[in-house]
Amino acid sequence: MKDLILNLAPTGMVPTRAMSSAVPLSPDEIIADCRLCADLGATILHVHARDENGRPTFRKDIYGRIIAGIRETHPDVIICVSLSGRNFPEFEQRSDPLLLTGDLRPDMASLTLSSLNFARTESINAPDMVVRLAKTMEDRGIRPELEVFDAGMVNYARYLADRGVLKPPFYFNVLLGNLSSAQVTPLHLAAITQDLPPESVWCAGGIGESQLAANTLGLLFGNGVRTGLEDFLWLDADRTQPATNEKLVSRVSELCTLLGKRFASASQVREALGMTPHAG
């Protein structure tokens, strides 16, 4: 696709109110940030839910409240629910948001293609879990948001595609800068993206202080960016300027304009990813 994708990850599994006063935690806060950033050009919303105490949750009722609130004002934006393997080991927990139906059914769901370590925690994604989640998405008409942190995950995506578990067009978030996986360098990015299967669309995101550099690479060479407070709570590497989702989206929008490019509309992204317009 010619125009670019802006994927917002507003909350994540890790940030707390003590870490940042700007991170949205309640459904109403997440809805408000997502609406605001959709107005600024975000077309995919990578949503994590939190429970009444601000802790990560898999509960579909909370995801349903968030999805309903976003679609009330932005029916065509693409909503992706998280199926993270950091906190919830059981398939029944991780797949719970996939059971939402009707107007609450998500458009996409995250699918990390292998287990990996972060700086202090791990994300467990066993092969059978990845396959079960992918098949459940296929059965329910939900497209995977394929998360890759290194070249080996791309190889596994190709393996699953060859066996019909994953079907094109493929959407990848290439996440750089994590301590134990690919770094935000041209060499690491090239090793990942040159091996993506045909009919792939990819956006670049950066963990921690790699966020801005990764977003720039995504604008220059990819199909777009992933940004948001999930990945970094600051605007600068020295951590002197607290970020908000609004500021992060505005920054990549300004950078996109400076590079002579523009972001696609939600309907254009839906077409590129083989999704029908949302009924609204």
Q: Are 161 and 198 in contact (CB under 8 A)?
A: no
Adjacent-strand bridge partners of 171: 145, 201
DSSP 147-190: EESSHHHHHHHHHHHHTTSS-SSEEEEEEE--TTS--SSHHHHH
* Residue 61 maps to a domain: yes
Number of Cβ within a 10 Å radius of residue 111 = 25
Number of Cβ within a 10 Å radius of residue 64 = 22
CA distance 6 to 203: 8
* Residue 237 maps to a domain: yes
* Residue 280 maps to a domain: no
- What confidence score (pLDDT) does residue 5 get? 98
* Residue 278 maps to a domain: no
- Total number of domains in the chain: 1
Full-model pTM: 0.97
- What confidence score (pLDDT) does residue 89 get? 86
* Residue 277 maps to a domain: no
Query: Tokens for 114?
Result: 């292998």
Q: Name all contacts of 127-131 with Cβ < 8 Å and 24+ positions apart.
A: 129/85, 129/91, 129/94, 130/156, 130/160, 131/160, 131/165
Torsion of CA 14, 216, 209, 191, to 10 degrees: 80
* Residue 39 maps to a domain: yes
CA distance 133 to 121: 22
Q: Are 238 and 19 in contact (CB under 8 A)?
A: no
Give the CATH number for residue 191. Answer: 3.20.20.70
DSSP 199-251: SEEEEEEESGGGHHHHHHHHHHHSSEEEESTTT-SBSSTTS-SB--HHHHHHH
Query: 10-residue block means of pLDDT along the chain (280 residues)?
Result: 95 97 98 98 98 96 98 97 89 97 97 94 95 98 98 98 98 97 97 97 98 98 98 97 98 98 97 81
- What confidence score (pLDDT) does residue 1 get? 81
Number of Cβ within a 10 Å radius of residue 184 = 24
Nearest to 78 by CA among 142, 22, 172, 131: 142
CA distance 43 to 9: 11
CA distance 201 to 198: 9
> For residue 173, what are the domain limits?
5-272
- What confidence score (pLDDT) does residue 88 get? 85
